[in-house]
């Protein structure tokens, strides 16, 4: 018990000066407000998140560049976090295959305590650096992979341990945290610090800090997918049609780009083997499936460039 008390005091000392643990002077009267007033106060604080994210876009850009380089080599991206941060990483990784046609192994989300922690808190899972190291080793992380840590207060041992290990083997690393840069002592290749200020409810980093992390993860993965040819104009053209909704969206995308009616677009999509990209190139360039596929390969998967290649050959 004495050992536990000493550890608690160490963490107390370590976290006392963190911005994420400070009280918000604009919300000191929360318990006196009406429901509408509480909502307005929360909304006013949430608006500050957008400015904080805007300020770190140059750093987000660096992360996207590494992400794209890693992906194009055929290597992997890992999100590593605990609690809310970990759940956000797992969520972003899980949404990429159906949206952009990535393979499940290409982007992986690791959460302290394992996937059971997605729905129920696993106490103490984030408290040891070794746990983060073990999870990366279990997945065979190499120097060619990219590890992105998510920690609202920058100090989560699980995340710190994973980032230290990743750097030790030569992997690229990034950290997304709500602490100012001059307070971060974790060594990474890219440090992204959206300073959102104290939370509406003191220490509840699932709120503004979590919102900032969600926005930044959306930006990183979406921008990376666009730069890898998975979007044509502003349409997702590499999605996996794994549900009726996505099957319908595939047909709609082909219709939107080509101007075909539903039945024609459906038939063309079947002829293209279910590939929205191939169907679009087939229709717009008026070429058979094999020619469309070859052009897309030459264009690294970009529909616009594939069409330009075929235009030059006609």
Would you call 233 a catalytic residue per the annotation? no
CB-CB contact of 78 with 146 (8 Å): yes
User: Among residues 45, 126, 129, 266, which one is catalytic?
Assistant: 126
Distances (CA, A) of 206 to 25, 86, 119, 213: 19, 11, 14, 10
Task: Judge residue 240's burial from the number of C-beta atoms within 10 Å of its C-beta, 0-12 exposed, 13-18 middle, 19 or more buried.
Answer: middle
CB-CB contact of 254 with 274 (8 Å): no
Distances (CA, A) of 75 to 78, 140, 220: 10, 12, 16
Q: Give CA 139 to chain center in angstroms.
A: 19
Q: Which of 60, 79, 72, 80 is nearest to 102 (CA)?
A: 72
The whole-angstrom separation of Cα 177 and Cα 191 is 8
Determine how many CB atoms are found less than 10 A away from the CB of residue 12: 10
User: Among residues 21, 65, 69, 95, which one is catalytic?
Assistant: 95
Would you call 95 a catalytic residue per the annotation? yes
Task: List the catalytic residues.
Answer: 95, 126
């Amino acid at each position: 018990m004495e050992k536990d008390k000493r550890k608690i005091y160490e963490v107390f000392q370590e976290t006392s000066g963190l911005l994420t643990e400070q009280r918000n002077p604009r919300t000191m009267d929360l318990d006196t407000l009406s429901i509408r007033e509480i909502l307005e106060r929360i909304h006013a604080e949430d608006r500050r998140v957008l400015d904080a994210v805007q300020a770190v876009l140059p750093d987000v850009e660096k992360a996207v560049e590494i992400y794209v380089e890693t992906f194009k080599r055929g290597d992997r991206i890992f999100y590593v976090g605990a609690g809310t941060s970990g759940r956000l990483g797992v969520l972003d990784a899980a949404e990429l295959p159906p949206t952009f046609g990535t393979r499940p192994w290409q982007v992986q989300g690791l959460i302290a305590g394992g996937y059971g922690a997605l729905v129920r808190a696993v106490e103490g899972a984030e408290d040891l650096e070794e746990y983060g190291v073990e999870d990366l080793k279990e997945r065979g992380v190499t120097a060619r992979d990219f590890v992105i840590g998510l920690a609202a207060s920058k100090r989560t041992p699980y995340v710190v341990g994973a980032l230290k290990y990743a750097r030790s083997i030569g992997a690229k690393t990034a950290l997304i945290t709500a602490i100012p840069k001059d307070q971060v002592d974790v060594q990474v290749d890219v440090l992204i610090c959206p300073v959102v200020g104290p939370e509406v409810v003191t220490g509840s980093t699932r709120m503004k800090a979590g919102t900032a992390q969600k926005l930044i993860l959306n930006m990183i993965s979406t921008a990376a997918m666009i730069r890898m040819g998975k979007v044509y104009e502003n349409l997702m053209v590499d999605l996996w049609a794994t549900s009726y909704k996505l099957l319908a969206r595939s047909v709609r995308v082909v219709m939107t780009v080509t101007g075909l009616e539903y039945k024609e677009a459906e038939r063309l999509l079947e002829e293209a083997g279910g590939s929205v990209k191939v169907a679009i190139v087939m229709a717009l360039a008026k070429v058979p499936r094999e020619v469309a596929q070859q052009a897309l390969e030459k264009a690294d998967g970009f529909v616009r460039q594939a069409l330009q290649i075929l235009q030059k050959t006609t």
